[in-house]
Amino acid sequence: MPSTLFSYLSIIATSILAVNALPGLPDKIYGVNLGSWLLIEPWMLPTEWVSMGGERCDWDCSACIANEYNFAQAYPDTVDQKFKEHWQTWLTQDDVNTLKAAGINSVRIPLGYWIVEPLVNRTSEFHAKGGLLELRRGLKQLKDAGIPVVLDHHALPGVASPNQMFAGRCTGDVQFYTPHNYHRALVWTAVMTALSHIHPDFSIVASIQALNEPIMDANQTPGLGEFNKNFAQTIRAVEIALGIPVPGISIGISANLASAANVTVAVSQAATLSSIFNPEVRQALKDAIPMILYAANQLGMNTIFGLDGLRNVLRKRQPLVVNFMNAQWQYNNPSNPADGAIGPTAYDNHLYYSFGGVADANEEAYLKHLCNLNRIEEAAAIGNSPLWFGEWSLATQFAATDDFLRKWADAQKLMYGKGAGYFFWNFKIEEGTDTTRQWSYLEGLKRGYLTQDPSQFHDPHIRLKEEGGLIW
Ligand SMILES: *[C@@H]1O[C@H](CO)[C@@H](O)[C@H](O)[C@H]1NC(C)=O
Ligand SMILES: *[C@@H]1O[C@H](CO)[C@@H](O)[C@H](O)[C@H]1NC(C)=O
């Protein structure tokens, strides 16, 4: 019956669209984080950090030179060179080759706001310069390897998480959740979106993440819901400016934009679209223009639209995947990032058992908790789908045997792989540290905890019982 056949086919088509909704990313992400590359967390490279001139103060990373900010403040004359040496050696062509050979099909790159250098207030904020050039170098290598990238805004202006190395500065004075710093994060977003579309080496960027791990108590993050909406709008506004079609936005200005001579003109025109974009977003676009030009100059990049040049490239670009931590990351009546979603959007959850509060500290409790994990379903119920697990590791609160770590890796891969996939934290850890064995993907591969092909499991019969509990 043709009509039955037709509806059958359209159901297939719909479900194909549903799994394939993330342009530029594989259907199933088998990914790793490139942590401590352009944003150093000294615990991951304790020996190198001390040899660079850093210090260790393990119980309070604000008490010594144990974060990027304190390092840059202590060594203003040498920080750029010291960090450049680190950037060039922490992620190399060999590493990219190894990841490729290990079947890694995506990476998440944690970044600080300071990679957009004009955003930094140099009288009160201390950070290395030159990271953008190394990002470009790494993106080129990843592009050549065919490994797409999520750019993760991990260390936000004003600091978004108290006393954490990953925030770029260890301090209890958290100032991100304020209008001034939300605005700077939007400007960052506009710049990174523009670069992702107009620089050939950045074309491997498939997604940008708004904010890594906001404070979990939503009472302490006022304005975050509004920021998330503005984040999506900012990405889409830049894309509209560049002439990239975005599902969900139809405007009659494309002819106008198509005649724009260069990026400055195009972005300025988008900044006038008051019927689509709110004043905060339009102001972020205006403030981003000189910074896009600054970055373009730094990268020696074309910002002129010739009909046979950049304009042609842009016409073929797909919109970026907008990425948020899912709403359930927070408690106390959090806002829902799905409320402001426009075009392709993905959600990110992180799960570490090693910090406590998840399951009792023993093998059975870990596996049982994991088997009953329903985070993907819970997120989907409020529209936070597709969801990936952007961070996880093999770390445990107890001394784990090699045998358990093989099971633990299998079980986590199985459960996190039920959604859009996952990114392990981290691709590497300095060799010979206390954390290398359970936090380094490459070490886990060497030790045989992780399978050489990430889509496989040690136990091919791994499956779930209805009532929960794994069968091995
Ligand atoms: C930079 O920081 C200093 C010190 O906090 C402050 O007085 C100044 O207003 C800031 N400049 C800008 C442009 O925000
Ligand atoms: C962009 O176009 C404007 C207006 O035509 C012009 O003033 C400006 O110099 C151009 N910028 C570049 C980088 O070519």
Distance between Cα 264 and ligand 2 center (Å): 7
**Ligand 1 close to Cβ of residue 121 (< 6 A):** yes
454 within a domain of the structure (yes/no): no
Distance between Cα 258 and ligand 2 center (Å): 15
429 within a domain of the structure (yes/no): no
Amino acid identity of residue 150, one-letter, is: V
Q: How far is CA 286 from CA 2, 230, 349, 393, 436, in A?
A: 54, 14, 32, 40, 45
284 within a domain of the structure (yes/no): yes
Q: Locate 88 and state its tokens.
A: 């060039």
Interior angle at CA 437, CA 434 and CA 439, nearest 5: 90
Query: Closest ligand to 302 CA?
Result: 2
Distance between Cα 121 and ligand 1 center (Å): 6
Total number of domains constituting the chain: 1
469 within a domain of the structure (yes/no): no
Distance between Cα 154 and ligand 1 center (Å): 22
427 within a domain of the structure (yes/no): no
For ligand 1, atom 10, which residue shows the shortest CA distance?
121
Domain with 228, as residue range(s), is 5-40+79-350
Interior angle at CA 288, CA 283 and CA 324, nearest 5: 85
* Phi and psi angles of residue 80, each rounded to the nearest 5 degrees, phi first: -60, -45
**Spatial contact of 297 and 225, defined as CB atoms under 8 Å apart:** no
**Spatial contact of 347 and 379, defined as CB atoms under 8 Å apart:** yes
147 within a domain of the structure (yes/no): yes
Distance between Cα 239 and ligand 2 center (Å): 19
Q: What is the CA radius of gyration of the chain?
A: 22
**Spatial contact of 328 and 376, defined as CB atoms under 8 Å apart:** no
458 within a domain of the structure (yes/no): no
Query: Closest ligand to 268 CA?
Result: 2
Instruction: List per-residue pLDDT tens for the chain, 472 residues long.
Output: 333 333 333 333 333 334 447 999 999 999 999 999 999 999 999 999 999 999 999 889 999 999 999 999 999 999 999 999 999 999 999 999 999 999 999 999 999 999 999 999 999 999 999 999 999 999 999 999 999 999 999 999 999 999 999 999 999 999 999 999 999 999 999 999 999 999 999 999 999 999 999 999 999 999 999 999 999 999 999 999 888 888 888 765 554 565 678 889 889 988 988 888 999 999 999 999 999 999 999 999 888 877 667 877 888 899 999 999 999 999 999 999 999 999 999 999 999 999 999 999 999 999 999 999 999 999 999 999 999 999 999 999 999 999 999 999 999 999 999 999 999 999 999 999 999 999 999 999 999 999 999 999 998 777 654 445 555 4
396 within a domain of the structure (yes/no): no
Query: Closest ligand to 180 CA?
Result: 1
Separation of first and last alpha carbons in the chain:
45
How far apart CA 214 and CA 229 sit, in angstroms, is 15
Nearest to 45 by CA among 430, 443, 432, 441: 430
**Pocket residues: Cβ below 6 A from ligand 2:** 261-262, 264-265, 303-304
How far apart CA 179 and CA 428 sit, in angstroms, is 36
* CATH code for position 191: 3.20.20
